[in-house]
Amino acid sequence: MTDYRCGRVTLVGRPNVGKSTLLNRLVGAKVSITSPRPQTTRQRLLGIKTADAVQIVYVDTPGLHPAQGGQLGQHMNRAARTSLDGVDAIVLVITAAGWTQADEYPLQLATAAGLPVILAINKIDQIKDRPSLLPLIELSAKKFGFTEIVPVAALRGENVDALERALIKLLPVQPPMYPADQITDRSERFLAAELVREQVFRGFSQEIPYAVAVQIEKFKREKGVLHVAATLWVEKEGQKAILIGKGGEQMKTTGTRARLAMQKAFGGKVHLELWVKVREHWSDDARALKTFGYED
């Protein structure tokens, strides 16, 4: 184990560039939820990849914004900013569509950290050919002295191994920090709540996903079946009605999809019960946020 390498790597970028999708690919397991909507990720979490000679501890973060309103927004921003503390390298994620105004803030934070920064250009499956990426790579190289610039397609796993190789070179020689079988720092309970929230982000539009917090009431294995009960907290009665749907149809769909995702994540049969409750302005209420697990 003399040459064992181990270190921490943070993924940063504006919302929706594919940080969590990339993290799951790099880890090789689903530890972070993803959706087509910005700000799906609310909390910092670790994804841990252990191999024979290396352990890489990835930090997933909420997307970086210069300013965000409300207590939840502030919590998310703090989680993103402090994720640069104590890491060995940074992966700044943008997309193959090119630099946008919203990429400038994460770029600024990443490049001011005094750490090696690798630029991952994600979603290359959405451009027609490789050569059309060259101008973007050239432009990016002028913006900052990135250690490497790696085009990837996180969704289908393309070139993610090249990104991993580039990162390994930046890690210090030291023994692993986590047991070889540990893939995240979060509990199964947390992942269960996230898998419910993921379905809300994927299944509902407009303000609904942002009005929902999920609290796990029960998480218990009994005779080979995992029993999970969760409350979906919303801010208004109207949102509750939308989440439940006519005759409970929407809740049923959300529940089925979340249950299947849990079965995949935890293995074995899952029984899932969902409840919807109203707590006005929870997203701007420090006590409610604490109760729902949004703590610094």
Site of interaction with Mg ion (CB under 5 A): 19-20, 41
CB nearer to Mg ion: give 190 or 276.
190
Q: How many residues does the chain have?
A: 296
Whole-number Cα distances in Å, 159 to 60, 97, 149: 19, 17, 12
Distance between CA atoms of residues 150 and 137, nearest Å: 9
75 touching ligand GDP, by CB under 6 A? no
Distance between CA atoms of residues 224 and 31, nearest Å: 23
Distance between CA atoms of residues 219 and 217, nearest Å: 7
* 8-16, 128-136, 138-146, 173-181 -> range binding ligand GDP (CB under 6 A): 8-16
C-alpha R_g of the chain = 20
10 touching ligand GDP, by CB under 6 A? no
15 touching ligand GDP, by CB under 6 A? yes
Q: How many CA atoms within 13 Å lie on the side-chain side of 122? A: 25
CB nearer to ligand GDP: give 158 or 285.
158
DSSP 168-203: HTTS-B---SS-TT--BSS-HHHHHHHHHHHHHHHH
Question: 149 — alpha (psi -120 to 50), left (phi > 0) or beta?
Answer: beta
CB nearer to ligand GDP: give 154 or 163.
154
243 touching ligand GDP, by CB under 6 A? no
Query: Per-residue contact track with ligand GDP, 116 to 135, x per CB under 6 A?
Result: ------xx-xx---------
- Residue listed under structure tokens 């210090």: 172
**Residue 155 binding partner per list Mg ion, ligand GDP, none, with a CB distance cut-off of 5 to 8 Å that depends on partner kind:** ligand GDP
CB of 191 to Mg ion, least distance (A): 14
Query: Per-residue contact track with ligand GDP, 17 to 36, x per CB under 6 A?
Result: xxxxx------------xxx
CB nearer to ligand GDP: give 8 or 19.
19
CB of 165 to ligand GDP, least distance (A): 18
Distance between CA atoms of residues 219 and 221, nearest Å: 7
Q: Which of residues 188-227 bind ligand GDP (CB under 6 A)?
A: none
CB of 60 to ligand GDP, least distance (A): 7
| Tokens coding 239 | 């949102």
